[in-house]
Structure 1
Amino acid sequence: MAKDDELRYGPSGESEVHICVDMQRMFAEATDWKMPWLPRVLPNILAVTAAHPERNLFTRFIPARKLGQGAGMWRHYYERWGAMTIDSIGPEMAGLVPDLAKFTPPARIFDKHVYSPWKGS
């Protein structure tokens, strides 16, 4: 968002949807996957989300339940990131950050077990 709190290209249209990808506790809190930039971008995401909560879709990356799960390369992935399985971090860490979770509903959540929201879903 621009410094004057206006969207750079004007207000969103009635048919537009805000897709917010993987703004989850496991990326915000003290885990192996913590993203240091998340607190910096969260205020802008909150502003966009609050403008039309019903037009938001949140994706959540759901890790394997335990070490050894996952198909193909994902099985190897969790050999490296075994500390990030649901059994290790707890299911609550796959949840949205609290500031965004309060918008559901009316915002919707789409869970996925691979990184991309466009594949395997």
Structure 2
Amino acid sequence: MPPEQVCAAHGILYDLVVHLRENQSQLYDLAWESAKRTAGITTEVETLSEATKAGFAAVSKRQDASDAALAEGFAEMRKLIATKNRRRWSPAQIVALITAVVGPTGIAAYVFWR
């Protein structure tokens, strides 16, 4: 090979090596920036995850307290209903009442026959 071609080939090879090193440097820089961003995002996600867990725990506690208060209210209402409905009419009492009102010696007979 003539010396001019060798020098031209060395020049092209040198330019390629320089270009590859620049690309490699840019690639390392991009990888480093990406790693920093990923670390920042990971930290932010962990922070948000902890905040979300704390929020769900607070909501769960409030819901449990609300359910307990609701159950207590239902129990109190059942007690109140039970105390108000103590006397239930038996079938014999209903028949006796109807007979007392409508029967031959009942109130209706007294009102109509007087």
| TM-score range for the pair, normalised by the shorter chain length | under 0.3
Which has the bigger relative contact order, CA under 8 A and spacing at least 6?
1
Structure with more helix by fraction = 2
The higher radius of gyration belongs to 2
TM-score, structure 1 normalization = 0.16
TM-score, structure 2 normalization = 0.17
